[in-house]
A and B are shown apart, each in its own frame.
Chain A
Amino acid sequence: MSDDVTAHVEGDPAQDLGTGVPQARWPLYEVFVRGKRGLNHVHVGSLHAPDDTMALHNARNLYTRRNEGVSIWVVRGDAITASSPDEKDPFFAPAGDKVYRHPTFYDIPDSVPHL
């Protein structure tokens, strides 16, 4: 993401801030919340925190202020391996031509029950 050219387009970067001490950035964490028992954890957003424990607490404060969850996962963004974003990606192509994996592929007379 550091190669984004828009980041500094409007002016100087943040060096003149605060005490002037260059800060290490806190890592980015992606947050996943289980809405209730029986459901999967679902991605809800991200936050920054100095460590895993703080990330969990911040996630609690930020994403579950109204009982939105019974369980939270926080995962450092740099620990996630992702497929390429484009949906046309050949990565998914092998699934494209295998219609026989779907039940509707098979022609069964309507008169046959429970099938």
Chain B
Amino acid sequence: MADETTRLATAAGPDGTTDVPEHLRRELEEAFERTVGSEGRVEPRDWMPEGYRKTLIRQVAQHAHSEIIGMQPEGNWILRAPSLRRKAILLAKVQDEAGHGLYLYSATETLGVDRGELTAKLISSKQKYSSIFNYPTLTFADIGVIGWLVDGAAICNQVPLCRSSYGPYARAMVRICKEESFHQRQGFELLRTLMAGTEAQRAMVQDAVDRWWWPSLMMFGPADGDSPNTQQSMAWRIKRHTNDELRQRYVDMSVPQAEALGVTFPDPELRWNAERGSYDFGAIDWDEFTAVVKGAGPCNAQRLAHRRAAHENGQWVRDAASAYAAKQEARRREGVAA
């Protein structure tokens, strides 16, 4: 029986949608659930439920798009970095974001989609990216705050995903998390430097923190009660904690860091709750979150227009590379024939 299932799983192709008899389909599903339930890993050509594949494609592609769009708010400051040291660091960081996007596109492709298609969906707004990148970077302190708070939130989200049930995604996350640590530390160091500067520089840091704190909390997504897919994703082990659990963990980690830095978060309700052993914090403005997700953030249009222009303006480079490869291949063949 196991042999028959194996053959069918292979014959069914990556989407598993070929007409599999009902009893065998159940057997495949049970095998899948056993693997996932016992902390096993699902690998690219394994049979997997359609919903699992679709959810993963959406999740990993959205993550990849976020890395790529995330290059923009920081890239905005490369030419205006105040020193060669800061410029080299920022350049390396933005290059890492591109790399992270590519690791993730690579993982998505193992699920049977083409990355050209994913780019097309990004620039035609058919797939989303993290709303945090729809906020502008107004001063150089924003670069530090993005590293500290935004990358800090990303790390909080991503570390548990190193144990995602889907092998290629988990492996990409391991690689990404290693590199994110540099991102967060460089941000914090940048802010410490500013805080040791003039009054105006300290005010600049506080202003940036005030603008980024709430959007950072929104990065964890809707409250658990409004996140209908969470339970299924957790059962599939492609999400390891709920949005609110991760958000609380992030707040608890960030408060002592803010104290060390000498800044405050713009939330009068933020205070230690000894009973819970956690910080209480104020209500998030979910109307703002929804509006920005739907495209009304300060930079949504600009971010997409820039990504689209980069894609279109890069067409000649891709064409040239293809033409060169074709020419080399033709010459090689001629050489072989001669």
Q: Interface of A with B (CB < 8 Å)?
A: 1, 3-11, 13-14, 16-19, 23-26, 28, 44-48, 50-51, 54, 61-62, 65-66, 82, 84-86, 88-90
Residues of chain A lying within 8 A (CB to CB) of residue B9: 86
Q: Cβ of B322 and Cβ of A26 under 8 Å apart?
A: yes
Residue of A at shortest CB range from B326? A50
A2 to chain B, nearest CB (A): 8
Within 8 A of A (CB), among B1-47: 2-3, 6, 9-10, 13-15, 17, 43-47
Q: Cβ of B120 and Cβ of A17 under 8 Å apart?
A: yes
B109 at the binding interface (Cβ < 8 Å): yes
Residue in contact with B109 in the complex, picked from A16, A46, A50, A88, CB distance below 8 Å: A46
Residue in contact with A6 in the complex, picked from B54, B92, B123, B175, CB distance below 8 Å: B54
- A3 and B121 alpha carbons, distance in the complex (Å): 19
Give the secondary structure class of B's interface.
Answer: helix
- A99 and B161 alpha carbons, distance in the complex (Å): 37
Q: Cβ of B54 and Cβ of A4 under 8 Å apart?
A: no
For this complex, into which size category does the number of interface residues on chain B fall?
Answer: 35 or more
Give the secondary structure class of A's interface.
Answer: loop
Q: Cβ of B113 and Cβ of A16 under 8 Å apart?
A: no
- A1 and B45 alpha carbons, distance in the complex (Å): 10
Residues of chain A lying within 8 A (CB to CB) of residue B95: 65
Known A-B contacts A11-B121, A65-B99; A6 and B325 likewise in contact (beta carbons under 8 Å): no
Known A-B contacts A4-B112, A50-B322; A14 and B117 likewise in contact (beta carbons under 8 Å): yes
A31 to chain B, nearest CB (A): 9
Would you list 27 pairs from A and B whose C-beta atoms are within 8 A, ordered by A residue?
Answer: A1-B112, A1-B114, A3-B15, A4-B14, A4-B15, A5-B17, A7-B113, A7-B117, A8-B117, A9-B54, A10-B121, A16-B124, A18-B311, A26-B322, A44-B175, A45-B172, A47-B106, A51-B321, A62-B103, A65-B92, A65-B99, A82-B45, A84-B6, A84-B45, A85-B43, A85-B46, A89-B6
